[in-house]
Structure 1
Amino acid sequence: MAVTLNDLLAESSLDLSLVVEGEPGALDDPIVWVHASESTDPTPYLEGGELLLLTGLQMPDDEPTEELRLYASRLAGIGIRGIGFGIEVNHPAIPQWLVDQCEHAGVPLLSVPLETPFIAISKRVSRGVADSKNQEFARMYRAQQQLIRSARQVDPVRGIVTKTAQLVGGWAALLNPAGKVRESSHHFLPVGVEELSDALTFSKLGETHFFQAKGYDIAVLHVATPAHVTLGYLVAGCRGVKGSLDQTLCAEAATMLALAIGSSSRGTLALTHFRTALTRDCLEGRSEDVHRYADDLWGGMPHEPLEVLRVMGEPDAIESAARLLEPFGSHIARNMNPVMYGEIDDELWVVVSQSNVDEWLVQLGKDTRLTVGESSGCTWRGLPRGRHEAFQAGAEALASGERSVRYGSGGSAAALERVIDPATMRAFADLRLAPISTMTFDISVGAHRGGSGGAVGGGAADGASSSFSQGVASQTGESSAGADGDGADSSPSAGSRTGRDGIIDSSTTIQAVDVVRAWVDSRGRVEEAARRIGVHRHTMTKYIARIGEAMHVSMDDPGVMAELWYACRYTRFGSDRDPGFAS
């Protein structure tokens, strides 16, 4: 144990006498060292905590000199433990002015007889300091052994964090590099993670940051690899003033955590791959063989009814989300029903009990880098449907900029425009309408075969002489009698289009694609479609028949009508394109 003034006074061989007691408790403060000096101002050679020995070589008996007027006050200012004055060397007794100064400054004053050499006092203090250091080394050794034993547990990270909290007499937590709690000794930390943000922001690799908060002495240490890559942060605290925390122990715990995390990385990678494979099986409808591994992989299986979550984001955000779901390392996951999860195609797929889904969405929503698609309720056998719904909801979330979307919410979760790449849909539309992309009709003569009237271009007219280009065909030249004998003088203009109100404008030429658009917008009702483009219903019927022949499809087929409806929304052909979808 460290030596105190009381210990020295109790040592009979030293024969010391107490002259001034000093401040209350001063006689029980540990002495860190002994220093002898006859200087009128020895403070430049002291650090605090020492016992100063002197014989008063430069001190007068009656009154202090100007240099010695504040002698005791200066010593008290640096934290001296006490003064040992050797009598019968230069002075028969301690000068009264020094006694008065020590009483006023609260500095303990001891009388050292001539028979007691100063070296005897130094040796006694030195033995005490050595014994104290030996005891400290023994304590540190025992603590280190306990930390090593804790690292041999099934979950070494959790064992080290828990043991660190016990040894410092407080609490401890391991944070990931993003500052999120990965493991903690208590379910609720007395100091919130948000209060540690400054310490994490300004801490440097290899340095320990100490600060006070809510009556706790707290240390923040980097947990890093030998290559100086930060794996996280160890945060520990105990009640008391600054310096109460065992800093050496915390540093050893941080080192052991780095080793534990590094050595388990290969096993963690294998576990991640196994979780991914079995999660994929479940989402594809093969959940029967997964149950036997569930306890080891996820701590169990979630309870029906279930929901599927598609979690998307940057790789480090996905990694943080996976740590949050970790059943053996996250205190949040341990407090809820088991969650099945795996990383598939750089996304995190989660199967969670419907009773817990709102809590998990709140936790995942704290990371602004994540986007979540949520399915409706399902059973184990219905997981393929849940996966499809979560995929569509996630696609809508990405398209709309929402952080989280539930399938079917707002009535647009399953809209085709939300889940299909617009470029892909435009390619489909142009390919579907390519056979009629250059076909036009002269509405001034109706849909007659041949001649200058009716269909122009695209191979729809029998025996007609026409010239056309990609996009819209234009009939040129004087009108003449056709194969059926009908004739009409007309000079139609190319490139005409119908108005958005559905009524044909003053032009006499209409593109076949616009006819199809009017027809599908009218749900196949001929009279309504004819009114939209300003022709007779019989003419409209002939137009549709000619278009069907050109496309080699039955225009009465519902599937054909559905394809043409989407094709008209996305195509670049026609004069009446929807500007919201085609460009």
Structure 2
Amino acid sequence: MAVTVRELLGIRSLGLLLRFEGSDNALDAQIHWVHQSELIDSTLFTEPGEVLMTTGSRLPRPDETSAEELAEVYRQYVQRLCDSSVVALGFGVGDRHDQVPDELLRSAHRYGLPVFEIPWELPFSAVIKAVSKSRSDAEHAYLRRTNTAQRRLIAAAGRPNVAQSVVSSTAQTIGGWAVLVDHNGRMVVHTHTDQLSRAAQAVRQHMASGKTVSFADDERAHLCVHTITGSEDQMRGFLVAGTPGDLDPLAISTCLLASNLLGIFLSLTGRLETALSEMRSSLIAEALAGNADLVQRAGKSVWPKTPHDPVQLGCVEGTEAQLDALRLADIPAAWGQLDGRLWIVTRPPMQARLAAQIDEDGLRMGWAPPCSWRELGEARRLALGDLLRHDAGVNLVDLLPRQEAEAFARTKLGPIVDPGNEELLTTLAAWLDADGSLDVAAAALGVHRHTVSRRMRRICELLGLGSVDHSVRHDLWFACQVLAHHGELPTATTA
């Protein structure tokens, strides 16, 4: 909140007269305080950023010494002031000196120290009071601006579109631009499209720095990046903000408050989105199982625009980040993730639009022909079959109705799937995966090969098998695959 030398000289009521402006930008130096000293060497009593005032009572006049000694006294005097980081010298005339000594001005020119003349009738205390008042006024103005900025941001957090409102208010307050970037690096909200590439680069540099707040500047602007964290210290994204000039303290504090508000908002919405995502997945599972009435009744609460008959079912494969980034809220669609795939129920006219977006994002998708909500169970297999033509990674179990597949598995495995026989079931699965090798299965289970052999004899007794030939082994292996695919195969533990 310091006043500059230029601002001090601009106070007309003081009548200060600039005699030398100093080196480049010297008048823009901030004044931390002003004090008076008549000492030839005031180094011990001067701090950086101060203006020193003097009447020159200890400084010689031209008629008191030789020209060479006079020049050396003034040179050393000014040099000591500059070494002490004094930002300007105020010289009071009319007492010992009728004007600012020429040798003083020559030395000031040599070292780049600004010098101003203080009129005889102006007490030094008036200069001190003026600086004090300017600092106080600046502090009050800063507090008012800070209060206004905080109220503006808090009001923005109460509007319907919180993220957009907070980001826009941040940009307006700092007189620049702002971008909200999610944890995947996607630009969620922005105020200036032409700054997106710079924001992306700043986020990459910020992440590499490992800092919570980082600053970067170039020839055109000064910007900062804040890591947005939630209530559980979970990283939610980044706020990038920049201005045409240097970020002042108000801009920095504004960005800090904005990132905190966004952290609270994103934490709340993140928990709500997680619950909503789980509900959507459950409803899609019900729809694919044939419970269309339940889904259509509840769908109005979990999807923005639930489609009506006829509908078309799609199945999408990709990374979790890619699936989360798909834009579905602005079209008639119901969606949810099951077993790492995203299932989408939409209106047939939307199929081409979605296909274009999915191809652009590098995802894989299969479509079933148009049908009714009640026919989605059959459409599920058709969509997976279409996906299979584009992706060899589709599991055969996906193409089977879950109830029939699980019934087959339980029939083939019989009492092995009963409670209490988990050890036998995991041993059978490990032995089948090892292609009947006792040693490999024992290593996978962390037990002795004799233990595996003993358990396999018990399994054959329970299943009524004299031996496990190739066809029986194939059926048992597929039964274990069905249970594993649906999360019903116990996890093997080492002994």
> Normalising by the residue count of structure 1, what TM-score does the alignment of the two structures yield?
0.56
- Percent identical: 26
The whole-number CA distance in structure 2 between the counterparts of 1:418 and 1:283 is: 12
Matched, 1:343 2:344: no
| Aligned with 1:379 (options 362, 367, 370) | 370
Q: Is the Cα–Cα contact under 8 Å of residues 368 and 383 in structure 2 kept in the other structure?
A: no
- In the alignment, which residue of structure 2 is the partner of 1:475? none
Q: Secondary structure in 1 aligned to 2:352?
A: coil
The whole-number CA distance in structure 2 between the counterparts of 1:339 and 1:187 is: 29
Q: Secondary structure in 2 aligned to 1:354?
A: helix
Larger deviation, residues 224-233 vs 245-254: 224-233
Q: Secondary structure in 2 aligned to 1:343?
A: strand
Q: Is the Cα–Cα contact under 8 Å of residues 223 and 241 in structure 2 kept in the other structure?
A: yes
Q: Is the Cα–Cα contact under 8 Å of residues 92 and 117 in structure 2 kept in the other structure?
A: yes
The whole-number CA distance in structure 2 between the counterparts of 1:179 and 1:350 is: 25
- Report the Cα offset of residue 104 of structure 1: 4.9
Q: Is the Cα–Cα contact under 8 Å of residues 272 and 342 in structure 1 kept in the other structure?
A: yes
Q: Is the Cα–Cα contact under 8 Å of residues 305 and 377 in structure 1 kept in the other structure?
A: no
In structure 2, the CA distance between the partners of 1:273 and 1:122, relative to structure 1 (3 Å rule), is same
> Normalising by the residue count of structure 2, what TM-score does the alignment of the two structures yield?
0.64
Q: Secondary structure in 2 aligned to 1:379?
A: coil
- In the alignment, which residue of structure 1 is the partner of 2:164? 158
- Report the Cα offset of residue 253 of structure 1: 0.7
- In the alignment, which residue of structure 1 is the partner of 2:223? 218
- Report the Cα offset of residue 248 of structure 1: 0.8
Matched, 1:388 2:385: no
Which one-letter code corresponds to 1:361 in the other structure?
A: I
- In the alignment, which residue of structure 2 is the partner of 1:253? 258
- In the alignment, which residue of structure 2 is the partner of 1:197? 204
Q: Secondary structure in 2 aligned to 1:235?
A: strand
- In the alignment, which residue of structure 2 is the partner of 1:95? 101
> Per-residue displacement from partner, 1:220-270 (whole Å, max 9, x unpaired)?
112224553333222212223465981010011111112222344443344
| Aligned with 1:85 (options 82, 91, 94) | 91
The whole-number CA distance in structure 2 between the counterparts of 1:225 and 1:390 is: 39
Greater relative contact order (Cα 8 A, min sep 6): structure 1 or 2? 2
- In the alignment, which residue of structure 2 is the partner of 1:52? 52
Correspondences of 1:22-171 after superposition (within 5 Å): 22=22, 31-37=31-37, 38=39, 40=41, 42=43, 45-48=46-49, 50-56=50-56, 59-61=59-61, 62=67, 63=69, 69=75, 81-89=87-95, 91-104=97-110, 106-171=112-177
- Report the Cα offset of residue 172 of structure 1: 2.0
Which one-letter code corresponds to 2:353 in the other structure?
A: N
The whole-number CA distance in structure 1 between the counterparts of 2:193 and 2:337 is: 27
Structure of larger gyration radius? 1
Q: Is the Cα–Cα contact under 8 Å of residues 4 and 27 in structure 1 kept in the other structure?
A: yes
- Report the Cα offset of residue 273 of structure 1: 3.5
In structure 2, the CA distance between the partners of 1:294 and 1:55, relative to structure 1 (3 Å rule), is farther
Correspondences of 1:278-317 after superposition (within 5 Å): 278-284=283-289, 297-300=302-305, 306=312, 308-311=314-317
User: Gaps spanning 5+ residues in structure 1: where?
Assistant: 326-331, 366-371, 394-405, 433-470, 472-563, 573-583
Higher helix share: 2
Which one-letter code corresponds to 1:33 in the other structure?
A: W
The whole-number CA distance in structure 1 between the counterparts of 2:304 and 2:176 is: 29
- Report the Cα offset of residue 174 of structure 1: 2.6
In structure 2, the CA distance between the partners of 1:141 and 1:52, relative to structure 1 (3 Å rule), is same
Q: Secondary structure in 1 aligned to 2:164?
A: helix
Q: Secondary structure in 2 aligned to 1:200?
A: helix
In structure 2, the CA distance between the partners of 1:380 and 1:60, relative to structure 1 (3 Å rule), is farther
> Per-residue displacement from partner, 1:20-75 (whole Å, max 9, x unpaired)?
24468766776453244546475995444x43323445644455565853765786
- Report the Cα offset of residue 415 of structure 1: 8.7
Q: Secondary structure in 2 aligned to 1:275?
A: helix
- In the alignment, which residue of structure 1 is the partner of 2:458? none
Which one-letter code corresponds to 1:239 in the other structure?
A: P
- Report the Cα offset of residue 308 of structure 1: 1.8
Which one-letter code corresponds to 2:338 in the other structure?
A: I
Q: Secondary structure in 1 aligned to 2:262?
A: helix
- In the alignment, which residue of structure 1 is the partner of 2:493? none
In structure 2, the CA distance between the partners of 1:263 and 1:88, relative to structure 1 (3 Å rule), is same
Q: Secondary structure in 1 aligned to 2:159?
A: coil
- In the alignment, which residue of structure 1 is the partner of 2:390? 409
Q: Secondary structure in 2 aligned to 1:408?
A: helix
Q: Is the Cα–Cα contact under 8 Å of residues 202 and 225 in structure 2 kept in the other structure?
A: no
User: Gaps spanning 5+ residues in structure 2: where?
Assistant: 62-66, 414-435, 437-468, 477-495
In structure 2, the CA distance between the partners of 1:112 and 1:188, relative to structure 1 (3 Å rule), is closer
> Per-residue displacement from partner, 1:133-157 (whole Å, max 9, x unpaired)?
1111111111111111111123323
Q: Secondary structure in 1 aligned to 2:154?
A: helix
- In the alignment, which residue of structure 2 is the partner of 1:500? none
| Aligned with 1:354 (options 351, 354, 372) | 351
Q: Is the Cα–Cα contact under 8 Å of residues 46 and 84 in structure 2 kept in the other structure?
A: no
The whole-number CA distance in structure 2 between the counterparts of 1:186 and 1:385 is: 47
> Per-residue displacement from partner, 1:558-583 (whole Å, max 9, x unpaired)?
xxxxxx9x9599599xxxxxxxxxxx
Q: Secondary structure in 2 aligned to 1:52?
A: strand
Correspondences of 1:459-498 after superposition (within 5 Å): none
- Report the Cα offset of residue 120 of structure 1: 1.8
The whole-number CA distance in structure 2 between the counterparts of 1:159 and 1:387 is: 41
Matched, 1:235 2:246: no
Quote the RMSD (CA, aligned, Å): 4.6
The whole-number CA distance in structure 1 between the counterparts of 2:356 and 2:86 is: 58
In structure 2, the CA distance between the partners of 1:226 and 1:362, relative to structure 1 (3 Å rule), is same
